[in-house]
């Protein structure tokens, strides 16, 4: 998950430094994997001014420019159509590395004329895809650092980019607003309110939406509206800068708005070109065999059960994963249907895995988005589209309803001490939970805590304790010795079976055996040779076909290990393993074994050092 510092500050009112923010993020469990200092790659470049620009004697499209720099007037050959006297430009000198062309400059000759550097375009400095000419600055002093000029006039282009690792249980942190909420709870600032106001529809929505009855369990909520009279073109510079900074390519205003809310609020959206649709939209399960040309240019064939969004013509989108090419928006689009929906996480994950599609939408829906933000997200995106593209919005259409997620758990505030070992006052625990969006009230040592809709990972008291400890900071945890129950030597902790297992391992190692740790599951054929292989011990979801059954004995694994070693020229082996074998599929239907294997010209260590051919199990 990537975001820029200025984007974060759109949600967080803070005076904290970049170092303080990154340190807090890692401490909160959102590990910072890297910070890209975009100003560093632009540091060598300075501002210059063209004094004169004359036609190159041997090239129609080149000009020989005399450029005023901080090192005096330099001669530079330039092919940009806008190179002319009097403009302020960005200069790259000999020895500077230009990231957009992956080149370190040197003094050279171009068609026989010496050139001392180059004047850069935005694409050559990786500021945008613009390459129609060199950068023309409206101001700037000769010799001024270009990064200083950007910091004062266009700070988004040198904004630091932060990348964090997201664990599967923190789906709320896949939106920048959720990250800001964590930082505000830690005390690094104040979370800015986000409360999208409904957009009044000026006409009934001409596109109907329905959900098949047998699909409501995996697609419980589908909503949208038509926006007509839009003008789709390039999105504004601020939006393009934000998307480009996190590695996304700006496409058009309509598409960029949907990508913006995917990262800003963890709310994936989709836009259909209404003029390319036939009839209304229906959410349904695939019967199998349907084909969809997706936005990535590939055609996917559905299996029975996959969830589709179709019109009267056929499939137009793979629900929660990727839209279709046939109804995609282009510069000619004037009427769109903006869709916002909630899709079941597990079903989305299985569908994406079946079709081997990886998308930002799938990544979020399979982890879980906020079901209660389906309609507010639609309103916020509608407002932005109207602001950027114009047009007028219809009334909302809706099928199904957001799934009910309201739940509460009782929290004994003393559990923080027993589970984590931190003594945090009840009032502070209530403050932390409230700042994270929970509702916490109660008397005595108990709190009744209601979980917000965006935290599907919180499923009990222990999860609430984790939230309190995480925000309070586990760095405050102080090591304390456990109290000794009685004086003298304590009773043994290990059971007799555990002691025998340890002795067996140490004895085998002392005799010269190499201990193996093989898989606890093997293929059916091998299991049947040792009395196993029944359906009772078959895995429901094996990682491969040859690891389909729980092992009835340790020897199959050791034999396979010996075979792999001998296939690689290791003929003398002394292997052993201590572990469990399984005679049934129920808890407790397992037994501990010790197995050894001798192959080749070897033997366990003995005081005489004798060697002989062996083949012993």
Specify whether the CB–CB gap between 292 and 213 falls below 8 A.
no
608 pLDDT higher than 60:
no
The number of CA neighbours under 13 Å toward the Cβ of 151 is 12
Question: Is the CA virtual torsion 548, 553, 558, 560 positive or negative?
Answer: negative
The mean pLDDT value for 328-333 works out to: 94
Give the number of other Cβ atoms within 10 Å of residue 160's Cβ. Answer: 19
The residues with which 12 forms a beta bridge, in sequence order, are 191
Could you report the per-residue pLDDT of 143-184, keeping only the tens digit for each? 999 999 998 888 878 889 999 999 989 999 999 999 999 999
401 pLDDT higher than 70:
yes
Q: Which helix (H) or strand (E) segment is 46 a member of? A: strand 46-55
The number of CA neighbours under 13 Å toward the Cβ of 423 is 3
pLDDT bucket at 489, cuts 50 / 70 / 90: confident
486 pLDDT higher than 80:
no
Specify whether the CB–CB gap between 380 and 196 falls below 8 A.
yes
Helices (H), 443-495: 461-472
- Specify the DSSP class assigned to residue 71: T
Q: Is 119 helix (H, G, I), strand (E, B) or coil?
A: strand
Q: Which helix (H) or strand (E) segment is 567 a member of? A: helix 555-567
Mean pLDDT of the chain: 91
Distance separating alpha carbons of residues 348 and 292, to the nearest angstrom: 16
Q: Is 472 helix (H, G, I), strand (E, B) or coil?
A: helix
Place of tokens 């729980």: 550
603 pLDDT higher than 70:
no
The mean pLDDT value for 262-266 works out to: 97
Q: Which helix (H) or strand (E) segment is 24 a member of? A: helix 18-27
DSSP code string of 299-315: EEEPPTT-EEEE-SSSE
- Specify the DSSP class assigned to residue 292: E
pLDDT bucket at 266, cuts 50 / 70 / 90: very high
Measuring CA to CA, which residue among 556, 554, 496 is closest to residue 523? 556
pLDDT at 544: 86
Structure tokens at 241: 């800068």
487 pLDDT higher than 80:
no
pLDDT at 617: 57
Could you report the per-residue pLDDT of 379-392, keeping only the tens digit for each? 999 999 999 999 99
Measuring CA to CA, which residue among 76, 84, 133 is closest to residue 105? 76
> Phi, psi at residue 76, to the nearest 5°?
-135, 130
More confident residue, 3 or 600: 3
Q: What is the pTM of this model?
A: 0.76
Beta pairing, strands 103-104 & 97-98: antiparallel
611 pLDDT higher than 70:
no
pLDDT at 53: 93
616 pLDDT higher than 70:
no
pLDDT at 592: 83
Could you report the per-residue pLDDT of 25-43, keeping only the tens digit for each? 999 999 999 998 888 888 8
Specify whether the CB–CB gap between 591 and 583 falls below 8 A.
yes
pLDDT bucket at 600, cuts 50 / 70 / 90: confident
Cα distances (angstroms) measured from residue 156 to each of 9, 244, 258: 12, 11, 20
604 pLDDT higher than 70:
no
451 pLDDT higher than 70:
yes
> Phi, psi at residue 408, to the nearest 5°?
-135, 155
533 pLDDT higher than 80:
yes
The mean pLDDT value for 225-242 works out to: 94
In the chain, what are the domains?
Answer: 2-37+160-191 (3.30.56.10), 41-157 (2.40.50.140), 209-400 (3.50.40.10), 408-475 (3.30.56.10), 496-616 (3.30.930.10)
372 pLDDT higher than 90:
yes
Measuring CA to CA, which residue among 595, 592, 587 is closest to residue 554? 595
The mean pLDDT value for 241-253 works out to: 92
The angle subtended at Cα 460 by Cα 459 and Cα 466, nearest 5°, is: 95
Distance separating alpha carbons of residues 499 and 501, to the nearest angstrom: 5
334 pLDDT higher than 80:
yes
pLDDT at 440: 93
The mean pLDDT value for 208-221 works out to: 96
pLDDT bucket at 453, cuts 50 / 70 / 90: very high
Place of tokens 């002392």: 510
pLDDT at 256: 97
Could you report the per-residue pLDDT of 121-142, keeping only the tens digit for each? 999 998 888 888 999 999 999 9
SS3 sequence of 195-242: CCCCCCCCCCCCCCEEECHHHCCCCCEEEEEEEECCCCCCCCHHHHHH
213 pLDDT higher than 80:
yes
């Amino acid at each position: 998950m990537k975001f820029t510092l200025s984007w974060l500050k759109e949600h967080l009112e803070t005076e904290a430094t970049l170092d303080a923010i990154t340190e807090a993020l890692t401490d909160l469990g959102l590990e910072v994997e890297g910070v890209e200092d975009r100003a560093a790659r632009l540091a060598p470049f300075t501002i210059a001014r063209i004094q004169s620009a004359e036609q190159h004697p041997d090239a129609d499209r080149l000009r020989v420019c005399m450029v005023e720099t901080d090192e005096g007037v330099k001669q530079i050959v330039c092919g940009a159509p806008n190179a002319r006297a009097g403009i302020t430009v960005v200069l790259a000198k000999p020895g500077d590395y230009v990231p957009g062309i992956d080149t370190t400059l040197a003094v050279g000759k171009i068609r026989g004329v010496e050139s001392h550097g180059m004047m850069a375009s935005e694409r050559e400095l990786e500021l945008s895809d613009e390459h129609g000419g060199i950068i023309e600055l409206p101001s700037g002093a000769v010799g001024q650092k270009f990064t200083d000029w950007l910091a004062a006039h266009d700070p988004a282009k040198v904004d630091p980019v932060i990348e964090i690792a997201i664990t599967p249980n923190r789906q709320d942190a896949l939106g920048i607003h959720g990250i800001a909420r964590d930082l505000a709870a830690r005390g690094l600032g104040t979370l800015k309110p986000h409360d999208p106001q409904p957009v009044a529809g000026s006409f009934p929505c001409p596109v109907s939406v329905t959900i098949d009855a047998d699909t409501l369990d995996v697609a419980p909520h589908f909503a949208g509206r038509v926006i007509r009279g839009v003008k789709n073109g390039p999105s504004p510079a601020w939006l393009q800068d934000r998307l480009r900074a996190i590695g996304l390519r700006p496409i058009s205003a309509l598409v960029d708005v949907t990508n913006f809310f995917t990262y800003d609020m963890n709310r994936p959206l989709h836009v259909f070109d209404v003029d390319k649709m036939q009839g209304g939209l229906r959410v349904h399960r695939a019967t199998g065999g349907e084909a969809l040309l997706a936005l990535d240019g590939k055609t996917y064939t559905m299996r029975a059960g996959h969830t589709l969004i179709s019109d009267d013509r056929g499939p137009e989108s793979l629900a929660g994963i990727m839209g279709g090419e046939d109804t995609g928006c282009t510069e000619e689009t004037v009427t769109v249907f903006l869709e916002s929906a909630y899709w079941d996480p597990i079903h989305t994950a299985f569908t994406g895995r079946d079709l081997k599609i990886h998308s930002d939408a799938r990544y979020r829906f399979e982890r879980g988005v906020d079901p209660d933000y389906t309609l507010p997200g639609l309103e916020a995106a509608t407002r932005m589209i109207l602001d950027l593209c114009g047009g007028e919005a219809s009334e909302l259409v809706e099928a199904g309803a957001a799934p009910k997620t309201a739940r509460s758990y009782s929290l004994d505030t003393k559990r923080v001490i027993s589970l984590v070992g931190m003594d945090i006052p009840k009032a502070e625990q209530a403050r932390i939970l409230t700042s994270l969006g929970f509702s916490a009230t109660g008397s005595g040592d108990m709190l009744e805590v209601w979980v917000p809709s965006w935290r599907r990972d919180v499923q009990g008291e222990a999860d609430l304790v984790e939230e309190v400890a995480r925000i309070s900071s586990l760095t405050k945890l102080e090591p304390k010795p456990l109290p000794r129950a009685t004086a003298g030597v304590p009773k043994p902790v290990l059971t007799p079976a555990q002691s025998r297992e340890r002795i067996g391992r140490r004895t085998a190692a002392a005799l010269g055996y190499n201990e193996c740790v093989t898989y606890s599951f093997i293929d059916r054929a091998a299991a049947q040779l040792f009395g196993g292989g029944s359906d009772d011990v078959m895995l429901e979801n094996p990682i491969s076909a040859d690891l389909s059954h729980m092992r009835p004995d340790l020897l199959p694994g050791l034999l396979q290990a010996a075979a792999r070693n001998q296939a690689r020229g290791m003929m003398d082996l002394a292997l052993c393993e201590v572990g469990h074998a399984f005679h049934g599929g129920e808890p407790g239907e397992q037994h501990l074994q010790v197995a050894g294997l001798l192959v080749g010209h070897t033997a366990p260590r003995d005081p005489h050092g004798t060697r002989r051919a062996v083949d012993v199990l």
